[in-house]
Amino acid sequence: MNNKKLRILEFLLIGVLMGLGEDLLAIFIATDAKIDFSVIWVVLLVAIPFAFISEVVVDNPRFWEKIFKGFRRDKRVDE
């Protein structure tokens, strides 16, 4: 499996599904709301952008290099 497909799979499985699960759990514990399709739909709409930001943007190998010029991920702290 190539790297691009793996990142998309990671985005879908980890980002969206885990985000959906944790948000629904928080709603269930913190409110008296009935978990139905409309609640799941709203949670899914909220989870997708945050999953995209965390999995595709921030986990990009060059993200920190673009944010902080001269930053290298593989640099050791004691160098």
pLDDT digits (tens, 9 = 90+) for 51-68: 877 766 666 666 667 777
User: Is residue 46 one of the residues assigned to a domain?
Assistant: yes
Cβ atoms of 44 and 15 closer than 8 Å: no
Q: How many domains does the chain have?
A: 1
pLDDT tens, 9-46? 777 777 888 889 999 999 999 999 999 999 999 999 98
CA–CA gap between residue 47 and residue 59 (Å, rounded): 17
CA–CA gap between residue 14 and residue 9 (Å, rounded): 8
User: Is residue 40 one of the residues assigned to a domain?
Assistant: yes
Contacts of 6 (CB under 8 A, 6+ apart): none
Of the candidates 29, 55, 60, 24, the residue with the CA atom closest to the CA atom of residue 42: 24
User: Is residue 78 one of the residues assigned to a domain?
Assistant: no
Give pTM, 2 decimals: 0.63
CA–CA gap between residue 78 and residue 7 (Å, rounded): 31
